[in-house]
């Protein structure tokens, strides 16, 4: 059976646009129009060949558009590979998995049952570091 890898969106798959997040987060279109982080799309495809990958993201509660836009972003940039693999939650620790790739410990990542691959830290600065670790 394939191992399960959970992947965060903002700051991991998604490059958040310029300007203060506290202002941007409530703008309609903000979450849809962000670009993928460098290497993220290829990394998602590569990981999907070896693992059961799910996208686990915490949407902004004050912006209901954020729910829809995350769904649309996934289809736009990750396509069929990501079909029906998006999980939106404020409690990531409730999702089962062997690994979670996340740039923070927030929203339950600190209580996640598997290994936290802390994206953006020295060991996992970029996607190629993560792939070296998970595809070896
Ligand atoms: Mg994040």
What pLDDT, on a 0 to 100 scale, did the predictor assign at position 53?
Answer: 98
Residue 54 clears pLDDT 90, i.e. is over it: yes
CA of 101 to the centre of ligand 1 (A): 9
Which residue of the set 8, 103, 122, 132 is catalytic?
8
Over residues 51-76, the mean pLDDT reads 98
User: Among this protein's residues, is 8 annotated catalytic?
Assistant: yes
Do β-strands 35-36 and 14-15 pair in parallel, antiparallel, or remain unpaired? antiparallel
CA of 1 to the centre of ligand 1 (A): 28
Q: For residue 21, which of 7, 32, 10 has the smallest C-alpha distance? A: 10
Residues 6+ apart with CB under 8 A from 100: 5, 6, 7, 8, 56, 92, 109, 112, 114, 115, 116, 117
CA of 80 to the centre of ligand 1 (A): 23
CATH superfamily of 4-134: HAD superfamily/HAD-like (3.40.50.1000)
Which residue of the set 10, 18, 98, 136 is catalytic?
10
pLDDT grade, residue 71 (50/70/90)? very high
Give the start-to-end residue ranges of the domains of the chain. Answer: 4-134
User: Among this protein's residues, is 10 annotated catalytic?
Assistant: yes
Per-residue model confidence as pLDDT tens digits over 109-120: 999 999 999 999
CA of 56 to the centre of ligand 1 (A): 10
CA 10 to chain centre: 6
Residue 16 clears pLDDT 90, i.e. is over it: yes
């Amino acid at each position: 059976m394939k191992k399960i890898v959970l992947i965060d969106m903002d700051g991991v798959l998604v490059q958040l646009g310029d300007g203060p997040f506290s202002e941007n987060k409530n703008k309609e279109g903000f979450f849809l129009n962000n670009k993928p982080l460098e290497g993220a799309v290829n990394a998602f495809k590569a990981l999907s060949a070896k693992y059961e990958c799910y996208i686990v993201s915490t949407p902004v509660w004050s912006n209901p558009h954020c729910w829809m836009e995350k769904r649309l972003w996934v289809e736009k940039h990750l396509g069929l590979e990501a079909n029906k693999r998006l999980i939106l939650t404020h409690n990531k620790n409730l999702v089962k998995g062997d690994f979670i790739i996340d740039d923070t410990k927030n929203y339950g990542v600190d209580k996640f049952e598997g290994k936290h691959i802390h994206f953006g830290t020295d060991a996992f600065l970029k996607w190629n570091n993560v792939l070296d670790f998970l595809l070896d």
